[in-house]
Structures are given as C-alpha cells and as structure tokens.
Structure 1
Amino acid sequence: MSSNHSIFVYSEIGKLQSVLLHCPGEEIENIVPDYLRRLLFDEIAYLDQARKEHNQFAGILRDEGVEVIYLTDLMAEVLENSEVRNEFLKEFMEEGKVVTQGLQEAIIEFFSSYTPKDFIKKCIAGLRKEELRHIKPKALGDMIRDPYPFYLDPIPNMYFQRDPFASIGKGISLNVMANETRNRETIFAKYIFKYHPRFKDVPRWYNRDKTHPIEGGDILVLSDKVLAVGISDRTDPTAIERLAYKLLSTEQCFETVLAFDIPKARAYMHLDTVFTMVDYDQFTIYPGIEEPLDVYSITMGKNNGIIIKYEKDDLPNILKKHLKLEAVNLIRCGGGDSIAARREQWNDGSNTLAISPGKVVCYNRNHITNEALRKNKIEVLEFESYELSRGRGGPRCMSMPLVRDNI
C-alpha cells in the first residue's frame, strides 16, 4: 500500500491498489423502450451476459492484485444502523420525487423487512407500482392514476462508478450530475463518505449540494501537480472553477487545473471517452477532438485569487510543459483510420483503465485501437464487451480508483 489513507490518488497510472465497482443488477431489467432516453440508455443490455463480462473485468483486476470493493457491500455496512437507514430512505425518496405521505409510508413499510444488502440492491433496481398494493391515499398525488410503471425509478447507470464522485489526492469531489435521473447516484457516495468507518473522514473538494454539474468521467489526475477536467456535455465551467479554487487553496500538492473544452455531443460524453493516460508520457486520444480543442490553465495567484490563462499551444506541447516531460506520444483511437476511430470511440476505444504505468484494461471489441496501444509498448488486458458497452461507457467509466501507489 502506498498509504494508510482510504483515498489516495495522485495519478492516472500509479499501481492500482483499491477500486470501487458496481456489478449490474436487476435495474438493467427494469429498462423499457418507452423510457430509454429518460434513463440515458440507447438500448437494453442482456443482464446475464453483462454480469459475466463485469465479473471478467473484476477478475482481471483481482489477478493484478487490486482490492475490488463493491458499492452495495459498503452501503449494506452503512445501513446496518437503522437510524442511518431511515435517514437514507427518506432522502432517497425525496430525490426520486416521492413526496406524498401515503406513498412514503407504503414504501417505508415495503422496505421494513429487507436486509441491508437486499434493501440497497432494491433501491438501485427500482420499485415497480405493482409491488406496492396497499397505499393509504393521503394526498391528491396518491389518488391520481398515472401510467408510468415505477414509484422509484431504476438506476441503470450505477455500474458507471466513475461519475458520482471522483478521488483526487486524499479527498473527493462529490459530484452534481448533469441529468436529474442520475443525481440519485451521488446519494450512495454521500452516505459512504458520511458514515462508513473506512471513508468518513475524507475531505471534499466539491459537494453535491452545489448548483453546477461536474461528473467524474471528466476528471483526470494527470500527476500530483496537475488535474485535468473536461468542459463537456456534463460538466460546467463554473463547477471546474469552484473545484479548482477549493483544491488549490488546500495543503494538497496540486498546482494547476487544466480545463479541456471538448465538443458537447452524446458521443463525447466525458473527457475520458476521448482522452486517457496510459503511461508516463503516452495518452490515448480520439482524433476528432484534437482540432477544436481549447485548453485553459487555472492556478492560484498570490493574493488567494485564481488565475485563468488560455493555453495557446497544441495538446502535446501543453502536456509536455505542465507534466514536465521531454516528449508526449498521443496514441490515436482507431490507429489513425477515421472510420475505425469513430466506430471504436463510440464503444469506448479511448476509455482505458490503467492498472500501472503502461498496463491497461480495455474492451476486446476495439481491436484496432488495442493493436495501436500494443505497437506503442502498452500491455493491454482485454475482456468481453458485448453487453456492457451498450451503456456507452468503458473500463475507466466503470471503475473508481480509491488508492493508487505514488509514481
């Protein structure tokens, strides 16, 4: 272990010691075509196969000596305390727009016999209307017939553990999600970092009560001095500025936050879908973002105000300067073939998870990009990706590193 800290992440590539995952569950089977867009899915995954693939992913990590922690296990430990459980359920219902007294009482009654583990899995899976037979109507909202099939929506994006919070140094950014449907995902992290004995004293550089969205897929810890954050479809520049101010004004060793302004499009949801770090001086990149890319540096001024500068250079030179490297190699998604690049980027060809410098986990389907990585002396560990990729997220999206060795 590099540290006794519960959170310790000062790079994208330091040897991974501990990681948080969520294996897809019944929430995937509660997605129906009418509500795909509402739940941010393009299509419906086959759960059995998705679980097999996720278990392969976790198996690769364990074989590499990584401690794999599941979100549901941490939450079950937190919810052993009945007062915390009641507090959580009330907040969870309110975030899910369940506010009428009759319905709240029926849901509390429904969950009363559940074990903590089953309770948390059910919260993620969603509560169908047919499961609640006895509601004593106490408000107009309890009496109205509504064709929508859920009282509590499923949370199918939960297997993308990268987004609700982000490990930065010895602290976290507890995020505000851009879409209302995903904001409930951050409640789980809130309770883990408030009540779990292993995680409850972790400082926060951003909090979920803020007004502007920021998501973990946009946050890359490039070194112990430099944080990169994408201004994306899901992350607002005001949030980046506030995160930078909080982080740079602490005792932490970070000195610069680089804001990458990427195109706002569904295909480029987060910075890590178009750009990730795979070695000390090597990065994967989707060529489609290189030309329009604007980068801004945020540093702390002398009198405790922040200084924001437009970086006038191309990306390799910006990275060389801030990471103090002699050379930078950008490995292009699709190996430079523009059709392959677009196809493989759509299935997260650039979304690599580094286990250690020069060793990454990738989906097997992105064979052209994976071959390009290998040509650049990167060791690629692959797993199957028929179903997980339907959620539009890759190995980095599905994992939140908690502890990495210093490099």
Structure 2
Amino acid sequence: MNNPINVFSEIGKLNTVMLHRPGKELENLMPDYLESLLFDDIPFLEQAQKEHDFFAETLRMNQVEVLYLEDLAAESLTDKEVKERFITEYLNEADIKEERTKQYLQEFLASITDGRELIDKTMAGIQKSELTALKQNSLSDLADTHYPFIIDPMPNLYFTRDPFATIGHGVSLNRMYSVTRRRETLYGKYIFGHHPMFKDAQVPMVYLRDENTRIEGGDELILSKKLIAVGISQRTDVVSIEKLARNIFEQELGFERVLAFDIGEERKFMHLDTVFTMVDHDKFTIHPEIEGNLTIYSISQGKDGLVISEETDTLEHILCKYLELDHVTLIRCGGGNLAAAAREQWNDGSNTLAIAPGEVVVYDRNTITNQKLEEAGVKLNYIPGSELVRGRGGPRCMSMPFDRTDI
C-alpha cells in the first residue's frame, strides 16, 4: 500500500481504524489522584472491556478492519536497538528523579521479552510496591510514602483520537495538553517510524510531539478534501493551529483551508468533537450552546505565506459557506432542551463516529439525541457505554481512522 494513511473526510466509508482496549491502567486509577489523571470517576475495568469489545465487534460487522494500538506498538519494537531506545525515551519522560531507580527500571523493562507484555506494562504504570529490589536502597523516589506510583499509569489511552490525528495521507503527532498524557504520543512516534505498515511509506508528519504548544486530535476534524476544522479549546492553542496549517500547506496534502473554531476553554467543551461532529454530507451533531455566533479564523496559503482572516457568524452559515452547501441540518444534542443537552453532552451525545455517510456509532444511553438523529434520517449503530463514558469520551474519541473511502 503506497498510502497506509488515507483520511480525507469525517464520513467516508471507514475501512481501517485503530483502537486501544482498556487495560490495567484503569485499575491504577485512585480517587485522590483522579484530577491529575484527567478522570472524574473510576471505570469498572471488566465491564469497560466488554463494552469496548462490543464497540470493536460492531465495527467489524460493518466491514471495518480493527487494529489495536497496543499490538501496533509491540510490533514496532522487534528490533533490539529500537526497543532499547523506546524504553530509554519512555523512562526519560516518566519524571523519575533518582538515577539508580531509572537504571533498575531500564533493566527491568528490557528483561520483558514479550513485546505486548512490555507495552502493556508501560501503559499500566508501575507502583512503588512492585519495586521490591529497591526498598533496601532508601532512594528518593521511594521516600514519598503517600504517592503510590514510581511511573504513572496512562488511563486516557483508550481515547486514541487525541495523541495523534490522521490528516489526508499524513499524521499530526500531537503535543498533549496535560503532562500526564504526553507520553502517550511516544507510541505513535515508534509506530510510524518502525512498524512494517509505515516505516517504508514515509508518512508525512504535519505536527511533532516535541513542539512547545499543545494540540489534540479531538480538536482536528476533516470536513472535506479541501477543508479542515480545528478547535481552539481547553486542549489546543491557537498558535498550534497556525503551525499545523503551515505544515499541511507546505507538504501539499491537498487541503486548501483550515478553519479555527473558538469554542472556549471549559472542560465540558474539552474538544471540538465533544460539541460538534459530522454525520453526513450536510448533517452535523451540535451542542446547543455553540449554536449562536461563533468566532472563527480562516487560514489559507497565499503567495507570501499564510492568509488569516477573522469572522463571526452562526455555525450554520459558516458550514454552508465553506462546504459550498445550500443548507445544513444541525442535530441538537438533547433535542435542544438545556437539561437534556447538558446531560447527554456530558455523556458524549455529540461525539459520534461516522462509519459511512449518514451512518454512525453512538452510545445507547443518549436516548433523546439518538432519537433526533434517527428522525434526521441517520442510521445508528448502538453500543453500551456505562463504564467507557466515565473517561468523558465517546465513539469518535475512542477511534483513530487509518483509511476511509474518498467521497
């Protein structure tokens, strides 16, 4: 395959997708440290895995090839030197203060011969209680008796949309908003650099994880072959969008314009795709609170560099203008009722995953929004999400398309 990445829309037939099945990292969540790990609650792992397996099987039943982040990462570390570099880089980013502890962990992780076991361990994190061989050394890393981890878990990993985003034939390898999520992008670095699917394809990188300003995949939407939307949000800086646009235009991926949507910095509007997703050529889910006047910034390529303009208008008018449509249908989360909208948006009623034009995957719990989608002629594939939703993410958040049929 010349182009293992091919994503030029939000709605083209989904052919290949990457997921992460929740693992032991969720069992390392603790009430006292939920906020720093970006969780509001602790999912029940066994049930979360059942729900996630149902999600994956729903995709397979719709002829979608399902790949797993943990498998791709393990398959990228078959070379001994690459594996050693990965472990070194992983530990350097794990905030380990004592050098002897880091050396011990280097030897410990290097001794894990099974690639999947190694990846699973790096994702789950390492508790201090596991390091029995170090207890006799009275190291500073073990001195803080209250904090249980020598390396934090990565519980947000099942939201594969955020650490990197596929754009055209390229990838935005993101700089994450929170320190607790920044190590997640390391897996993408090694997958795109060393996995057999990608290492010879020279996938264009339109953003790099060592940039100094943040951007996340939940804010990056591919509205058409010409148009990308990016949210200015709690998780994405406006300057990052300018960098992204410049790289996309320089690498000639075919896109002509980037629209930056200013959606504010509230946690409930964490990413653009939590308040706005595309479900068909002219149909979109929205949270009613973004329905009024929006400020957007249009970025295009001029003869002497980027051309940036600001405008304020309704979402409906903006979409009609830039997608060259006479009319769009905005499907309101919660049917427009403020109480229902707040509840169902919190449970990701606006965060749908399109698997074909006019066909989406949704959580079954958002009954009012789902009814409105069906009334608008959208075909729904329901999945349970009582535990998965505790991480504040929906079907789009939990999926990273690698290939969509062009439309």
Query: What interval of TM-score do these two structures reach, taking the shorter chain for normalisation?
Result: over 0.9
Q: Is the 8 A contact 2:299 2:308 kept in 1?
A: yes
Q: Which amino acid aligns with 1:104?
A: K
CA RMSD of aligned residues (A): 1.5
Residue 356 of structure 1: CA displacement? 0.3
Q: Distance in 2 between matches of 1:4 and 1:387?
A: 39
Residue segments in structure 2 that go unaligned for 5+ positions in a row: none
Q: Distance in 1 between matches of 2:15 and 2:136?
A: 51
Residue 142 of structure 1: CA displacement? 4.8
In the alignment, which residue of structure 2 is the partner of 1:376? 376
Q: Which amino acid aligns with 2:376?
A: N
Distance 1:224 1:333, change over 3 A: same
Matched, 1:126 2:129: no
Q: Which amino acid aligns with 2:112?
A: S
Residue 105 of structure 1: CA displacement? 1.9
In the alignment, which residue of structure 2 is the partner of 1:220? 221
Within a 5 Å distance, the mapping from 1:318-357 to structure 2 comes to 318-357=318-357
Within a 5 Å distance, the mapping from 1:89-100 to structure 2 comes to 89-100=87-98
Q: Distance in 2 between matches of 1:235 and 1:272?
A: 12
In the alignment, which residue of structure 2 is the partner of 1:157? 156
Q: Distance in 2 between matches of 1:326 and 1:88?
A: 51
Q: Is the 8 A contact 1:103 1:136 kept in 2?
A: no
Q: TM-score, normalised by structure 1?
A: 0.96
The percent identity for this pair of structures is 54
Within a 5 Å distance, the mapping from 1:197-208 to structure 2 comes to 197-200=196-199, 201-208=202-209
Residue 293 of structure 1: CA displacement? 2.2
Q: Distance in 1 between matches of 2:353 and 2:301?
A: 30
Q: Distance in 1 between matches of 2:126 and 2:34?
A: 17
Residues 165-221 of structure 1: CA deviation (Å, up to 9, x unaligned): 000000010000010000011011011111112122211011001010000000000
Q: Secondary structure at the match of 2:134?
A: coil
Q: Is the 8 A contact 1:102 1:139 kept in 2?
A: no
Q: Distance in 2 between matches of 1:178 and 1:143?
A: 28
Q: Distance in 2 between matches of 1:4 and 1:371?
A: 41
Q: Distance in 2 between matches of 1:125 and 1:317?
A: 45
Residue 114 of structure 1: CA displacement? 4.1
Within a 5 Å distance, the mapping from 1:125-274 to structure 2 comes to 125-135=124-134, 141-142=140-141, 144-200=143-199, 201-274=202-275
Q: Distance in 2 between matches of 1:180 and 1:382?
A: 33
Residues 218-272 of structure 1: CA deviation (Å, up to 9, x unaligned): 0000000000000000000000001011112222210000000002111110000
Q: Which amino acid aligns with 2:92?
A: E
In the alignment, which residue of structure 1 is the partner of 2:62? 64
Residue 339 of structure 1: CA displacement? 1.0
1:110 to 85, 105, 108: 108
Q: Is the 8 A contact 1:39 1:156 kept in 2?
A: yes
Residue segments in structure 1 that go unaligned for 5+ positions in a row: none
Q: Which amino acid aligns with 2:40?
A: D
Matched, 1:37 2:38: no
Residue 321 of structure 1: CA displacement? 1.4
Q: Distance in 2 between matches of 1:92 and 1:314?
A: 44
Stretch deviating more after TM superposition (28-37 or 197-206)? 197-206
Q: Is the 8 A contact 2:135 2:142 kept in 1?
A: no
Q: Is the 8 A contact 2:249 2:255 kept in 1?
A: yes
Q: Distance in 1 between matches of 2:112 and 2:330?
A: 54
Q: Is the 8 A contact 1:360 1:378 kept in 2?
A: yes
In the alignment, which residue of structure 2 is the partner of 1:276? 277
Q: Distance in 2 between matches of 1:61 and 1:284?
A: 20
Q: Distance in 2 between matches of 1:145 and 1:334?
A: 46
Q: Distance in 2 between matches of 1:176 and 1:143?
A: 29
Q: Distance in 2 between matches of 1:337 and 1:236?
A: 31
Q: Is the 8 A contact 1:263 1:289 kept in 2?
A: no
Q: Secondary structure at the match of 2:81?
A: helix
Residue 398 of structure 1: CA displacement? 0.3
Q: Distance in 1 between matches of 2:350 and 2:137?
A: 52
Residue 100 of structure 1: CA displacement? 2.6
Q: Is the 8 A contact 2:170 2:253 kept in 1?
A: no
Q: Which amino acid aligns with 2:216?
A: E
Q: Which amino acid aligns with 2:5?
A: I
Q: Which amino acid aligns with 2:43?
A: A
Residues 153-172 of structure 1: CA deviation (Å, up to 9, x unaligned): 11000000000000000001
Q: Distance in 2 between matches of 1:104 and 1:309?
A: 49
Q: Secondary structure at the match of 2:210?
A: coil
Residues 108-130 of structure 1: CA deviation (Å, up to 9, x unaligned): 23221341110100110111111
Q: Distance in 1 between matches of 2:133 and 2:237?
A: 43
Residue 381 of structure 1: CA displacement? 0.5
Q: Secondary structure at the match of 2:215?
A: coil
Residues 29-84 of structure 1: CA deviation (Å, up to 9, x unaligned): 11011110111100000001000000000001000000100011111111221211
Q: Distance in 2 between matches of 1:290 and 1:32?
A: 37
Q: Which amino acid aligns with 1:266?
A: R
Q: Which amino acid aligns with 2:146?
A: P
The aligned length equals 404
Q: Which amino acid aligns with 1:325?
A: L
Stretch deviating more after TM superposition (189-198 or 163-172)? 189-198
